[in-house]
Amino acid sequence: MSAGWYPLALADGIEPGTSAGTQLFGKELVVWRDAGGAAHVWEDRCPHRGMRLSFGFVRGDRIACLYHGWQFDGAGQCRAIPAHPHLDVPETIKVATYRVAERAGVIWAADAHTEAPEPAARDALTPIRSLYVDRPVAAVRAALAGAGFPGADGAPLPFAGDAGGLLAFGAPEPVLFAALQPFAAGRTALHILAVGAPAAEDRVALAGAAEVLRRALEGASALAEAAA
């Protein structure tokens, strides 16, 4: 993973006691939230036989692997091996972990040794959705910078700059933010948030606008050409 912080999910979308798989530059990661609400980002591989930990299940402050039930605590340390209940689990059985920050309604991760400053906090945002698009991140970025974000009423929200890892849209004041996740080669995730507290029907309209954006980015359209 390159230096810096990367968005992986909308914070609201990962409920306590659940896990989700994702990718960053094609590397599989697990994002999980323990019962106490703390988010964790790890390499998505069980040290036992390599099963994706995101297929597993969270119990309290541990995540358990689906295959043979090995349990890992919040630091990635294996704490229990069901087949050997009396074993004092060696400290060396550990999952590689990442640094995590929850800012602006998004779960961000960085290399454990990163020196990059944490993403900026930003209040009063409402999550809209995560959108997964089969286009490279640079192309998505270029298309959004050029054409803006489709607005709920059809009129595009103009691109208003990059604010601490979030692309801002709308004038004179931003009304929408998007954090871009380099998912894998040719694939990007956009984590989209609205400014303020829009009503349910406005959130539905913005989520619908995101579908329009995905069709435009992936299909034959002016926006796709801008992204090419």
Binding site for ligand FES (CB under 6 A): 46, 48-49, 51, 65, 67-68, 70
Both tokens assigned to 145: 């910078």
Query: Which of 4, 21, 74, 164 touches other proteins by CB under 8 A?
Result: 21
Query: Which of 1, 18, 139, 221 touches other proteins by CB under 8 A?
Result: 18
For the segment 40-59, give every residue that binds other proteins (CB under 8 A): 54-55, 57
207 part of the interface to other proteins, by CB under 8 A: yes
CB-nearer residue toward other proteins: 51 or 139: 51
Q: What's the CA gap between 73 and 195, in Å, rounded?
A: 35
Token pair 């979030």 in the structure block, residue: 166
Token pair 């009304």 in the structure block, residue: 175
- At closest approach, how far in Å is the CB of 183 from other proteins? 8
Residue-by-residue DSSP string for 87-141: ----TT-B--B-EEEEETTEEEEE-TT--SPPPPP--SEEEEEEEEESS-HHHHH
66 part of the interface to other proteins, by CB under 8 A: yes
For the segment 165-184, give every residue that binds other proteins (CB under 8 A): none
Q: What's the CA gap between 169 and 133, in Å, rounded?
A: 19
Q: Is residue 40 a contact partner of residue 154, using CB atoms and an 8 Å limit?
A: no
Strand (E) or helix (H) holding 181: strand 176-184
203 part of the interface to other proteins, by CB under 8 A: yes
CB-nearer residue toward ligand FES: 27 or 68: 68
Phi, psi angle pair for 180, to nearest 5°:
-100, 125
- At closest approach, how far in Å is the CB of 158 from ligand FES? 48
Both tokens assigned to 200: 């349910």
Choose the one of ligand FES, other proteins, none that binds residue 61, judging by a C-beta under 5 to 8 angstroms depending on kind: none
Q: Which residues bind other proteins (CB under 8 A)?
A: 9-10, 13, 15, 18, 20-23, 54-55, 57, 66, 69, 129-130, 132, 189, 200, 203-204, 207-208, 211
